[in-house]
Structure 1
Amino acid sequence: MRGRNLANPLVAEATNSIFFTTKKSDLCIFLSYTREDREAVEKLGDYIQNAGVDIYLDIYDLELQQAVRNEDPIAITQSIERGLSFATNVICVVSEETVNSWWVPYEIGFGKRAEKPLATLTLKDTVTIPSYLEITQMIRGTRSLNEYLIEISKQSRILLEAASTFINMNQYSNHNHPLDYILEWEN
């Protein structure tokens, strides 16, 4: 079963509410990133959803997009906090551009304060990791991401089976792996 992007208004509409809440046992990963990495993060989000895990990727958060256009920091922080409230886990996707982000540290700090498990996923060729991320679990490459997804999926037997099946199908293919251009295989 494919995971959902909980920021997508079509998901919310399907549940007959503006924003619905997940059950405590459901997994949802909030993807924190800088705008320069959007294309890579969309691919990562798709991969995680294909593993059966819900995500919160803000590209569909219409209120946040409007707040950004209006340069409204109050509405931006409220949108980020709402997105993080859906999440059970937070992954910060890091590239060399992350050190210039003003919002990634806020998302990580709010996630830490809310006691969400934090992880850092480094994109290909990333050398610099902001020091505030050294407190998180490090995910370096596709193999490490697969191990992380299986580990957090252990909270649900059904989700574990879906994630394990998806990851096994994508591990040793003769074809390019969907994340080859954005992650190292192992590090």
Structure 2
Amino acid sequence: MLGINRAHSLNESKAKINLSIGKKCIFISHHKSDLEYCKKIATYIMKAGIDVYLDEYDYDLKHQVQTNNPAGVVRCIKKGINNSSHMLCIISPSTIYSKWVPWEIGYGYDKTTIGALTLKGISNASLPEYIKTVPVVRGTKSLNTYLARILGRPQPVLESYGYIKAHSNTMHSLDSVLDWEL
């Protein structure tokens, strides 16, 4: 069964059901300039059968940002984190300049299982200090392992059912976003 984006208002009732039955959900923490990369990553995660919270469709959050209401922004972010079992912080050169990513990590530290995912070409040396305290997923191969661990299923089983994709001679859907392995 495919995962959903719990931030999307059209998924509100399904999100409540999934939350009540304990379906895993990954809050995707990111800098706004990395949204297109995050959408590809979120699609891949949802195909694996895990829900995500990606703020692109959180219209309440967008309204709070547009009306310059920091308290409303915080409320929306807290709701997304509180309704997630995991957090995946997307690391790019822009992450260093984010004012919200460190806050999200700090808030989510005791509420979710936190990890970080480096985008293509990000070195260990460029990781922000606050990220060095959490497990870092480096590349698609590691992401597959991470997703299998969350689902509690062996990677080969997930690959055989098409939930995740091993790398082959053909292009992987995340090749433009992530390294295969480091």
What TM-score do the two structures reach when normalised by structure 1? 0.88
Looking at structure 2, the residues matched to 53 and 161 of structure 1 have their Cα atoms a distance apart, in angstroms, of 17
Matched, 1:57 2:77: no
Aligned to 2:180, the other structure's residue is in SS state coil
Q: Structure 1 residues 144, 184: CA separation in 2 closer, same or farther (over 3 Å shift)?
A: same
* Deviation readout 1:128-177 (Å, 9 max, x if unpaired): 111001111110000000000001111xxx89898444567621444210
Q: Structure 1 residues 63, 95: CA separation in 2 closer, same or farther (over 3 Å shift)?
A: same
Aligned counterpart, 1:89: 86
Contact preservation (8 Å) 2:120, 2:179: yes
* 1:1-187 mapped onto 2 (5 Å cutoff): 1-13=1-13, 22-23=19-20, 25-114=22-111, 116-127=112-123, 128-154=126-152, 163-165=158-160, 170-187=165-182
Aligned to 2:52, the other structure's residue is in SS state strand
Aligned to 1:170, the other structure's residue is in SS state coil
Looking at structure 2, the residues matched to 68 and 89 of structure 1 have their Cα atoms a distance apart, in angstroms, of 24
Contact preservation (8 Å) 2:5, 2:52: yes
Q: Structure 1 residues 79, 162: CA separation in 2 closer, same or farther (over 3 Å shift)?
A: farther
What TM-score do the two structures reach when normalised by structure 2? 0.90
Contact preservation (8 Å) 1:51, 1:162: no
Q: Structure 1 residues 35, 8: CA separation in 2 closer, same or farther (over 3 Å shift)?
A: same
Looking at structure 2, the residues matched to 121 and 76 of structure 1 have their Cα atoms a distance apart, in angstroms, of 24
Looking at structure 1, the residues matched to 14 and 21 of structure 2 have their Cα atoms a distance apart, in angstroms, of 20
Deviant stretches of 4+, over 3 Å: 158-169
Aligned residues with identical type, % of pairs: 34
* Deviation readout 1:2-57 (Å, 9 max, x if unpaired): 10110111111567xxx666026310000000011000000000000001111011
Q: Structure 1 residues 3, 160: CA separation in 2 closer, same or farther (over 3 Å shift)?
A: farther
Aligned to 1:47, the other structure's residue is in SS state helix
